[in-house]
Amino acid sequence: MNPKKISPTITVADPTISRDFYIKNFGAKVQFDCGWYINISLGDHELCFMKPQSPEQPVFGNKGLTYNFEIENVDAEHDRLLQLGLPVIMPLGDHPWGDRGFGIMDSNGVILYFYKTIEPEKSFKQYFK
């Protein structure tokens, strides 16, 4: 695997507080902001903040860290990791926010999210800056 980009997502109670902190103190630029998920850039690097998800969506939990890996062939990586016996905790699928991805958990409980960018659904296009 040769990721095009790697970015952390930190689950926090209120992503807007984190967004404002990094904008004010470090000159961050907002890349995407739908309220519950915010992606900012600091130069060539990205940092993401996500509000805890509902109990019906336990994949990303209510706290913790997720590493996002943008890769060319997400389907092949999904198949490769399944062949290695790694359990998929978020099934491979197309998501309305503009990616095709899936998630696994590493040996420390950190979620690893592998994705390929696709066209976002119309309802999410308004959140891209």
How would DSSP label each residue in 28-77?
-EEEEE-SSEEEEEETTEEEEEEPPPPTT-GGG-SSEEEEEEE-S-HHHH
pLDDT digits (tens, 9 = 90+) for 69-96: 999 999 999 999 999 998 888 999 999 9
- The CATH class that applies to domain 5-125 reads alpha beta
pLDDT digits (tens, 9 = 90+) for 92-121: 999 999 999 999 988 777 889 999 999 999
Instruction: Judge if pTM exceeds 0.75.
Output: yes
* Residue entry with tokens 């409980």: 109
pLDDT at 63 over 90: no
